[in-house]
Amino acid sequence: MNSLLKIFFSLLIVSFIGCSSTSISIQFRDNLSKKTNHILLNGKIAQFNNDSLYYIDGNISIVDGKIDSILTEIPPHYNIESNITDLKGAYIYPGFIDAHAHFLYQGLALKSIDLSGTKSWKECVKIVEDFIKNNPNEKVYRGQGWDQNDWEIKEFPNNSSLEELSSNPIILSRIDGHAILANSIALRQSKIDINSVIKGGEILKENENLTGLLIDNAQSLLSIAKPTNEEKSEALLAVQKKAFKYGLTGIHEAGLPSEDIILIDELQKKKKLKMPLYVMVSESPSEMNFWIKSGPLKTNLLDVRSFKFYSDGSLGSRGALMRESYSDRENHFGFEVRSTDYMKSAAERLYNNGWQMNTHSIGDSANSRMLTIYKLFIDPLKKNDLRWRIEHAQVVHPDDRLNFGLGIIPSVQPSHATSDMSWATDRLGPQRISYAYSYSSLRKSSGGILPLGTDFPVESMNPLYTIYAAISRKSLDKGSKESFQIQEALTREQALIGMTRDAAYASFQEKEVGQIKVGMWANFSIFTSDIMKCPEDSIPKLKVSETWIHGEQVYVNHVK
Ligand SMILES: [Zn+2]
């Protein structure tokens, strides 16, 4: 730009002071004089058109972490002083967002005893034993990931084989976080004994002795020292690193107490934690008092505007609340973690104060009662934009499913279907399984909104596994070639939209993230292959080439 023009534009900008900021930014953009922080050259830029996807061959300029322009050609006078990345024809997708995960818990799990993928309880005990031998000075031994449904003997374990291993507490969480096996020392220190009682959960007993197994609300009775803030900070940074590798640029953290939310905010302000997080507050009367008084929290990286509730437990540990008895346990209907009256009055409080309600509901009874409660607050005529969410929406009776059409959001995890397919029919029987994990039907009922997540660490963090599970309905681990209820599969585009545009919508962030559009955060997951066209079986093996968050390249892996 020649100097005369520069003076002209400076005057123009000065003359705009006092006008709306939009006017100024339009002037900047039209004149292409604003300092560009970064330009991504030669990308295939994914764009959504309703439920379809097309690519623009072009370039993206980034200013202050946001997409400033998408250009098919770079004008010769464009102000490129800074960084240029030549993508050499790579595919740029909107950054993946996991719409339901446990980020901190996954971070802590990275440092604990990993019992996932074990084939027997005996194998678990050996792993715990070896860990204790190698780490003799731990005050508390924590493990996670066991799943009795994967074992030959598909029964809950008891703590007798843990007793000899250590004189310190041992706490082993089931893969879904809905059951814990604790050794006697852990139970004693927590004052849990044969006379302890709990609502909305179960303390398992055998011949008038505790087995050490605590289900759902019973887990809250354990009062063993929690991880310190330092340990939590380390865990968050460790899991962030892993998340970047998988192309994740946003996480919906499905439930944390205030103390952890404050820690996250501090780490983000120190620029150590770069992962944008939409955090649901773990509900309790005192948390509701605190947050309703202080109001929602919104920064560039943190969004707190919702509460996470539990309506029931999980199917794997028979805690999911069912209308009819479990097919594999007579006269057992699961657990009502919170009463209907409690849920109703909490919903009213949230509604009156403009908060979003997100409720874990797995069983058909849990889903039915929560949809009925949500409906009390939705006025179809006024179209109030509550975006209240049902987390998991796993076993939803077809009659209840129609309620999602009122603007209630089903937030689902496609890899749950393929992980559970080998045993879910045992729990539900042939009739109820026919309307379980019905993702395509749920999407139709909700008017095309279906945010997708993994629920990690319950499932792998890799978003490509979610795409694969959603489109193929095949299990990766079990080497099965059979698809589970293939009529409920999503298209590749729908799966990608679920992890980007729909996830953004479910957190009220659709103007900020979820698509590659001018004005949105420059969050990208970049691949050298076309995820929409590559062979289906190759999807889980694809590697992320680059991950960008707020205009910063946070991960790069250029395989030559
Ligand atoms: Zn969860």
Token reading at 59: 């370039």
Count of CB atoms within 10 A of residue 410's CB?
Answer: 28
Q: Classify burial at 103, counting beta carbons within 10 Å of its beta carbon; exposed 0-12, middle 13-18, buried 19 or more.
A: buried
**How far, in Å, is the centroid of ligand 1 from the Cα of 296?**
22
Nearest in space to 514 (alpha carbons), one of 46, 167, 6: 46
**How far, in Å, is the centroid of ligand 1 from the Cα of 520?**
28
Count of CB atoms within 10 A of residue 226's CB?
Answer: 11
**How far, in Å, is the centroid of ligand 1 from the Cα of 83?**
39
Cβ-contact 545, 527 below 8 angstroms: yes
Nearest in space to 548 (alpha carbons), one of 34, 35, 38, 36: 38
Q: What is the pLDDT of residue 27?
A: 30
Q: What pairing do the DSSP bridges indicate for beta strands 179-182 and 141-146?
A: unpaired
**How far, in Å, is the centroid of ligand 1 from the Cα of 518?**
33
For the segment 511-522, the average pLDDT, to the nearest whole number, is: 98
User: pLDDT at residue 77 above 70?
Assistant: no
Residues 6+ apart with CB under 8 A from 177: 102, 105, 144, 314, 458
**How far, in Å, is the centroid of ligand 1 from the Cα of 45?**
32
Q: What is the pLDDT of residue 3?
A: 38
**How far, in Å, is the centroid of ligand 1 from the Cα of 201?**
17
Q: What is the pLDDT of residue 300?
A: 98
Nearest in space to 112 (alpha carbons), one of 44, 15, 180, 41: 180
**How far, in Å, is the centroid of ligand 1 from the Cα of 455?**
5
Nearest in space to 255 (alpha carbons), one of 357, 179, 336: 357
Q: What pairing do the DSSP bridges indicate for beta strands 170-174 and 141-146?
A: parallel
Q: Which element (helix H / strand E) includes 392?
A: strand 389-392
Cβ-contact 217, 198 below 8 angstroms: yes
**How far, in Å, is the centroid of ligand 1 from the Cα of 146?**
16
**How far, in Å, is the centroid of ligand 1 from the Cα of 19?**
46
Nearest in space to 103 (alpha carbons), one of 264, 262, 269, 271: 264
User: pLDDT at residue 534 above 50?
Assistant: yes
Q: What is the pLDDT of residue 455?
A: 96
**How far, in Å, is the centroid of ligand 1 from the Cα of 452?**
12
**How far, in Å, is the centroid of ligand 1 from the Cα of 101?**
6
User: pLDDT at residue 498 above 80?
Assistant: yes
**How far, in Å, is the centroid of ligand 1 from the Cα of 169?**
25
Q: How far is CA 196 from CA 143, 207, 272, 351, in A?
A: 24, 16, 43, 36
The residue written with tokens 């999602």 in the block is 404
For the segment 126-151, the average pLDDT, to the nearest whole number, is: 92
Token reading at 258: 């205030």
- Give the single-character DSSP code of 461: S
- Rounded Cα–Cα distance for residues 168 and 143 (Å): 13
**How far, in Å, is the centroid of ligand 1 from the Cα of 457?**
9
**How far, in Å, is the centroid of ligand 1 from the Cα of 176?**
8
**How far, in Å, is the centroid of ligand 1 from the Cα of 311?**
12
Q: Which of 72-86, 193-207, 416-430 has the lowest mean pLDDT?
A: 72-86
Q: What is the pLDDT of residue 388?
A: 97
User: pLDDT at residue 109 above 50?
Assistant: yes
**How far, in Å, is the centroid of ligand 1 from the Cα of 254?**
6
**How far, in Å, is the centroid of ligand 1 from the Cα of 98?**
11
E-only strand ranges, 336-441:
356-361, 389-392, 409-411
**How far, in Å, is the centroid of ligand 1 from the Cα of 251?**
12
Q: Which of 11-25, 119-133, 213-227 has the lowest mean pLDDT?
A: 11-25
pLDDT digit string, tens, across residues 18-50: 333 222 222 334 444 567 788 999 999 999 999
Residue 260 has φ and ψ, to the nearest 5°, of -75, -35
The residue written with tokens 């009156």 in the block is 352
Q: For residues 323 and 137, which has the higher predicted lDDT (pLDDT)?
A: 323
For the segment 295-299, the average pLDDT, to the nearest whole number, is: 98
Q: What is the pLDDT of residue 18?
A: 31
**How far, in Å, is the centroid of ligand 1 from the Cα of 404?**
20
Residue 155 has φ and ψ, to the nearest 5°, of -120, 155
Token reading at 517: 């559009």
Q: Which of 22-36, 130-144, 492-506 has the lowest mean pLDDT?
A: 22-36
pLDDT digit string, tens, across residues 359-392: 999 999 999 999 999 999 998 775 689 999 999 9
Nearest in space to 402 (alpha carbons), one of 427, 453, 368: 368
Residues 6+ apart with CB under 8 A from 415: 454, 459, 460, 465, 466, 469
**How far, in Å, is the centroid of ligand 1 from the Cα of 453?**
9
Q: What is the pLDDT of residue 248?
A: 98
Q: How far is CA 233 from CA 103, 177, 266, 271, 492, in A?
A: 12, 21, 10, 13, 36
User: pLDDT at residue 560 above 70?
Assistant: no
**How far, in Å, is the centroid of ligand 1 from the Cα of 107?**
14
Cβ-contact 360, 308 below 8 angstroms: yes
For the segment 426-440, the average pLDDT, to the nearest whole number, is: 96
> What is the dihedral sign for C-alpha 289, 335, 390, 317?
positive
Determine the distance from the C-alpha atom of residue 269 to the mean position of all C-alpha atoms in its chain, rounded to a whole number: 22
Cβ-contact 181, 157 below 8 angstroms: yes
**Which CATH architecture group holds 109-221?**
Roll (3.10)
Cβ-contact 397, 445 below 8 angstroms: no
**How far, in Å, is the centroid of ligand 1 from the Cα of 360?**
8
Q: How far is CA 79 from CA 33, 73, 74, 85, 170, in A?
A: 6, 14, 10, 15, 60
**How far, in Å, is the centroid of ligand 1 from the Cα of 451?**
14
User: pLDDT at residue 163 above 70?
Assistant: yes
User: pLDDT at residue 11 above 50?
Assistant: no
The pLDDT-based confidence of 76 (bands split at 50, 70, 90) is: low
Q: What is the pLDDT of residue 81?
A: 57
**How far, in Å, is the centroid of ligand 1 from the Cα of 467?**
18
Complete DSSP assignment for 245-266: HTTEEEEEEEEE-HHHHHHHHH
**How far, in Å, is the centroid of ligand 1 from the Cα of 236?**
17
- Rounded Cα–Cα distance for residues 440 and 531 (Å): 20
**How far, in Å, is the centroid of ligand 1 from the Cα of 102?**
6
**How far, in Å, is the centroid of ligand 1 from the Cα of 308?**
10
Token reading at 87: 């993508």
Q: Which element (helix H / strand E) includes 400?
A: helix 398-401
For the segment 250-271, the average pLDDT, to the nearest whole number, is: 98
For the segment 124-144, the average pLDDT, to the nearest whole number, is: 92
Cβ-contact 85, 39 below 8 angstroms: yes
pLDDT digit string, tens, across residues 216-229: 899 989 988 788 99
CATH number for the domain running over 229-518: 3.20.20.140
User: pLDDT at residue 347 above 70?
Assistant: yes
Average pLDDT along the chain: 90
**How far, in Å, is the centroid of ligand 1 from the Cα of 144?**
14
Q: Which sequence spans correspond to the domains of the chain?
A: 109-221, 229-518
**How far, in Å, is the centroid of ligand 1 from the Cα of 116?**
16
The pLDDT-based confidence of 482 (bands split at 50, 70, 90) is: confident
- Rounded Cα–Cα distance for residues 462 and 455 (Å): 11
The pLDDT-based confidence of 4 (bands split at 50, 70, 90) is: very low
pLDDT digit string, tens, across residues 435-458: 999 999 999 999 999 999 999 999
